[in-house]
C-alpha cells in the first residue's frame, strides 16, 4: 500500500541546494531550451536527491514535462550537441545522450508527467528518496524554490534510508531491487528491513527484466568500494543467484566453500588496487590508470577485474574430485572458460570483454607456472604478454589475490615475479614488443616442410616452450622442433 506519511505537498529548498541546481551546466542550459513551448518542466529523482544529500549529481538527469516531449528533445539535443532517441514510443519518452568522453556520457531523459500532476507523478517512482521534484521555471524565476516532496523523501535521503514508495514497486519493475543495492553501494544508503524483506520475497522476478539492464546495474555495483561486501549483500537478498544460477552448483560442493573463496579473492584484489603505493610505488599511477580506464562501454576496467575474480574458479564446481588426501580440480580452467563465456553472453557483454574474460579464466594458473621456473627469461616474460597482452596486467593481480584468498597469506615468490613483470610490461613490452624466435617461413625453410597446419602446430609448441623457459633462442628452438618432429614420427606427441 502507498505511504501516507506526509500530507504537506511542498517545502522551501535550502539556498545552497538551489544554488547548486542553478549552477549545474545541464540544468542551466536546458532551461532556455524549453522557453516558448508553453509547458511545465520538472527535474525529478536522482539529481534532486543527490543535491539534498550534498553528493555529486552524477550523469543521469530525469525531467517530467507536461507535453511536447519530442520537440523539446530535439531542441535540447541541438543546443547541447547531443543525440535524441525515443526510449518508449508508447509512453512518448525520449533520451538525449551527450558524449563526454569514453566513459562519462550524460543522459537526459524526458517523460510525460503522469496522473493529474507532478505530485501524483512522483508517487509512481521507486523509492521515497527519488519521489522528489523541482519546478524548473520556479527554480530560475523565484527567490524561494519549493521542493515537491509528498513522502518526506528529503528526510529519508539525508538519513540515507531506502524505502519503497509502495509494496508493489518491484512487481512493476524488478530492476528496482538491483537499483536499491546499487544506491546503497554508491552513496552509503541503508536498505531498511521492510525493503529487504520485499526484495527477498520478490527476487525471483529479477530474471524477467532485460539482461542489459541487469548488466548495467550489476557492474555499477562492482565499480563501488567494498565490492566483496556488496556481492555478499546481493547473495543475502537472493539476487546473486538470479543473475548467476550457476551458484546453486557451487553450494552443492562438499568440503569446499567456493562462494566464500571467490568473494575473498574479490576482497583481496580490491585491497591490492587500493594498496598499490605500498606494493609497487614506482608504477602506481600507470596501474591505476589501467584500472580506471573503460574496459568496454560503461564498464570500467576495475569493475571488470572484480567480475573476473568472481568467476575465475567457476569451473571447480564441475571438476572437483576428492580422495583421502586432498581435493583436485583437474581441468577447471578450461571448464571455467566455457562457463564464464556463457555468463558473458547472458549479460550481453561485448565481444571484446567475452574474449578477455575467457582468456583470463583459462590462463589464471599461468603466472603460478612461471613463478615455479628456476629462472624467468626475457623470452618467457615476452611470451606471457604476447598471449595475454593488456589482460596480462589483470591476470598478474588476479594471481596474487587468488593466492592470498587460498592461503590466507602472501606468496613471496609469486609477488616478486609480479613486481618484475609489471615493469617489463610498461618499460619493454609496451614500448617494443619482442619478435618471435622463429617465423613460419623460417620453419618451412629449415625443416623443408610445406605450408600447412603442421607449421602452425610447430609455432604453437615453440611458444609454449618459450613460456616455460625451455627455449630461449633460435638455436634452442631448432633443437626443440627437431626433437618434437622426431617424437611425432614415432607416434609420440610431446
- Render pLDDT for 233-248 as a digit per residue (tens, 0 to 9): 999 999 999 999 999 8
CB 62 within 8 A of CB 111: yes
Q: What percent of the chain stands above pLDDT 90?
A: 61
Between CA 354 and CA 340 the distance in angstroms is 8
**Which residues lie closer than 8 Å to 313 by C-beta, 6 or more apart?**
258, 261, 262, 265, 329, 332, 336, 364, 402
* Residue in the block written with cell 507523478: 121
Same fold, 1-158 and 167-243: no
Which of 131, 116, 126 lies closest to 66, judged by CA? Answer: 116
Q: Pick the range with the lowest mean pLDDT from 198-207, 253-262, 324-333, 484-493.
A: 484-493
Which residues have C-beta within 8 Å of that of residue 52, sequence separation ≥ 6? 17, 132, 147, 154, 157, 158
CA distance 65 to 111: 6
Whether 491 shows a pLDDT value over 50: the answer reads no
Question: In this prediction, what percent of the chain has a pLDDT beyond 70?
Answer: 94
Q: What is the pLDDT of residues 321-337, one digit of tens each?
A: 887 678 788 889 999 99
pLDDT in tens, 48-64: 999 999 999 888 999 99
Question: Residue 483 pLDDT more than 90?
Answer: no
Q: Which residue has the cell 524526458?
A: 110
Nearest C-alpha neighbor of 160 from the set 52, 268, 78:
52
- The residue assigned the cell 591505476 is 288
Phi first, then psi: give them for residue 48, nearest 5 degrees: -60, -45
Give burial (CB, 10 Å; 0-12/13-18/19+) of 435.
Answer: exposed
Across 12-26, 269-283, 452-466, least confident range: 452-466
Mean pLDDT value of segment 298-305: 93
| pLDDT, mean over the chain | 88
Mean pLDDT of 450-460: 80
What pLDDT is stored for residue 490 in this prediction?
Answer: 41
Question: Which residues make Cβ contacts (< 8 Å) with residue 154, sequence separation at least 6?
Answer: 11, 52, 132, 147
Decide: 131 and 125 in contact? Cβ < 8 Å. yes
Query: What pLDDT does residue 298 have?
Result: 83
CB 52 within 8 A of CB 17: yes
**pLDDT for 370-429, tens place per residue?**
998 888 888 888 889 989 999 999 999 999 999 999 988 888 999 999 999 999 999 988
Q: Which of 98-102, 173-177, 281-285, 314-318 has the lowest mean pLDDT?
A: 98-102
Q: What is residue 434's predicted lDDT score, i.e. its pLDDT?
A: 63
Query: Residue with C-alpha cell 551546466?
Result: 25
**Strands, DSSP E only, in 196-293?**
none
- To which residue does cell 519493475 refer? 173
Q: Which residue has the higher pLDDT, 222 or 440?
A: 222
If residue 177 lies in a helix (H) or strand (E), which one and from where to where?
A: helix 175-187
Give φ, ψ of 11 to 5 degrees: -145, 150
pLDDT of residue 468: 63
For 168-196, b/e burial (b = at least 16 CB within 10 A) is ebbeeebbbbbbbbbbbbbbebebeeebb
* SS3 category, 145: coil
| Residue-wise pLDDT tens digits, 249-267 | 888 888 888 999 999 999 9
What is the pLDDT confidence band of residue 102, given thresholds at 50, 70 and 90? Answer: very low
With vertex at residue 433, the alpha carbon angle to CA 428 and CA 436, rounded to the nearest 5 degrees, is: 130
Residue-wise pLDDT tens digits, 338-382: 999 999 999 999 999 999 999 999 999 999 999 988 888 888 888
What pLDDT is recorded for position 2? 47
Q: How confident is the model at residue 493 (pLDDT cuts 50, 70, 90)?
A: very low
| pLDDT reported for residue 411 | 86
If DSSP codes are grouped into helix, strand and coil, which group holds residue 407? helix
Query: Which of 460, 262, 268 lies closest to 361, judged by CA?
Result: 262
* pLDDT tens digit sequence for 108-145: 999 999 888 999 999 999 999 999 999 999 999 998 99
User: What sign for the dihedral angle of Cα 254, 255, 260, 264?
Assistant: negative
Listed in sequence order, the residues at least 6 apart from 221 whose beta carbon sits closer than 8 Å to its beta carbon are 178, 181, 182, 185, 227, 230, 234
CATH of 1-158, one of 3.40.50.720, 3.30.460.10, 3.40.50.2300, 3.40.50.10380: 3.30.460.10
Model pLDDT, residue 186: 92
* Pairing status of strand 146-148 against strand 10-12: antiparallel
- For the beta carbon of residue 369, count every other beta carbon within 10 angstroms: 14
Structural domain spans, the chain: 1-158, 167-243, 256-429, 440-489
Could you read off the pLDDT of 138-181 as tens digits, one per residue? 999 998 999 999 999 999 999 999 999 998 999 999 999 999 99
Q: Tell me the pLDDT band of 1, cut-offs 50, 70 and 90.
A: very low
CB of 392 closer than 8 Å to CB of 416: no
- List beta partners, residue 135: 42
Residue 36 CA to residue 266 CA, distance in Å, equals: 53
> Using CA atoms, how far apart are residues 466 and 378, in angstroms rounded to an integer?
10
Alpha-carbon distance of 81 to 97, in angstroms, equals 9
Q: Which of the two residues, 244 and 455, has the higher pLDDT score? A: 244
Run of H or E including 175: helix 175-187
Cβ 374 vs Cβ 424: under 8 Å:
no
Q: How far apart are CA 297 and CA 306, in angstroms?
A: 17
The yes-or-no verdict on residue 3 having pLDDT over 70 is no
Round to whole Å and give the CA distance between 183 and 160.
Answer: 10
Does the domain at 167-243 match CATH 1.10.110.30? Answer given as: yes
Query: CB atoms < 10 A from the CB of 293, how many?
Result: 13
Amino acid at each position: 500500500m502507498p505511504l501516507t506519511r506526509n500530507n504537506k505537498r511542498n517545502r522551501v529548498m535550502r539556498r545552497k541546494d538551489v544554488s547548486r541546481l542553478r549552477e549545474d551546466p545541464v540544468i542551466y542550459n536546458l532551461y532556455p531550451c524549453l522557453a516558448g513551448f508553453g509547458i511545465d518542466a520538472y527535474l525529478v529523482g536522482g539529481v534532486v536527491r543527490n543535491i539534498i544529500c550534498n553528493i555529486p549529481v552524477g550523469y543521469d538527469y530525469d525531467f517530467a514535462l507536461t507535453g511536447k516531449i519530442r520537440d523539446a528533445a530535439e531542441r535540447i539535443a541541438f543546443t547541447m550537441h547531443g543525440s535524441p532517441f525515443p526510449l518508449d514510443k508508447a509512453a512518448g519518452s525520449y533520451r538525449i545522450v551527450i558524449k563526454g568522453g569514453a566513459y562519462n556520457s550524460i543522459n537526459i531523459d524526458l517523460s510525460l508527467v503522469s496522473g493529474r500532476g507532478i505530485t501524483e507523478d512522483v508517487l509512481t517512482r521507486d523509492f521515497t528518496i527519488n519521489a522528489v521534484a523541482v519546478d524548473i521555471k520556479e527554480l530560475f524565476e523565484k527567490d524561494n524554490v519549493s521542493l515537491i516532496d509528498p513522502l518526506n523523501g528529503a528526510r529519508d535521503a539525508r538519513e540515507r534510508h531506502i524505502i519503497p514508495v509502495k509494496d508493489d514497486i518491484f512487481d512493476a519493475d524488478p530492476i528496482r531491487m538491483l537499483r536499491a543495492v546499487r544506491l546503497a553501494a554508491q552513496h552509503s544508503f541503508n536498505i531498511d528491513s521492510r525493503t529487504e524483506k520485499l526484495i527477498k520475497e520478490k527476487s525471483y522476478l529479477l530474471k524477467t527484466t532485460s539482461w542489459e539492464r541487469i548488466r548495467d546495474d550489476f557492474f555499477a555495483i562492482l565499480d563501488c568500494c567494498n565490492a566483496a561486501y556488496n556481492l555478499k549483500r546481493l547473495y543475502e537478498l537472493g539476487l546473486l543467484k538470479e543473475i548467476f544460477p550457476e551458484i546453486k552448483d557451487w553450494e552443492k560442493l562438499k568440503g569446499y566453500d567456493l562462494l566464500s573463496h571467490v568473494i575473498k579473492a574479490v576482497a583481496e584484489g580490491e585491497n591490492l588496487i587500493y594498496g598499490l603505493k605500498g606494493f609497487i610505488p614506482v608504477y602506481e599511477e600507470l596501474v591505476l590508470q589501467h584500472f580506471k580506464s573503460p574496459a568496454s562501454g560503461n564498464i570500467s576496467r576495475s569493475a571488470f577485474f572484480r567480475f573476473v575474480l568472481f568467476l575465475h574458479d567457476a569451473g571447480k564446481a564441475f571438476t572437483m574430485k576428492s580422495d583421502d588426501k586432498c581435493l583436485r580440480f583437474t581441468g577447471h580452467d578450461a571448464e571455467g572458460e566455457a562457463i564464464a563465456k556463457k555468463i558473458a553472453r547472458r549479460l550481453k557483454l561485448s565481444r571484446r570483454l567475452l574474449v578477455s574474460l575467457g582468456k583470463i579464466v583459462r590462463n589464471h594458473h599461468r603466472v603460478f607456472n612461471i613463478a615455479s621456473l628456476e629462472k624467468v627469461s626475457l623470452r618467457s616474460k615476452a611470451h606471457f604478454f604476447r598471449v595475454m597482452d593488456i589482460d596480462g596486467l589483470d591476470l598478474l593481480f588476479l594471481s596474487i589475490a587468488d593466492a592470498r584468498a587460498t592461503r590466507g597469506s602472501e606468496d613471496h615468490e609469486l609477488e616478486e615475479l609480479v613486481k618484475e613483470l609489471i615493469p617489463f610490461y610498461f618499460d619493454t613490452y609496451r614500448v617494443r614488443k619482442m619478435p618471435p624466435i622463429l617465423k613460419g617461413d623460417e620453419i618451412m625453410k629449415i625443416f623443408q616442410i610445406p605450408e600447412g597446419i603442421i607449421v602452425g602446430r610447430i609455432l604453437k609448441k615453440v611458444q609454449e616452450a618459450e613460456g616455460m623457459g625451455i627455449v630461449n633462442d633460435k638455436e634452442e628452438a631448432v633443437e626443440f622442433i627437431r626433437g618434437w618432429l622426431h617424437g611425432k614420427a614415432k607416434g609420440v606427441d610431446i
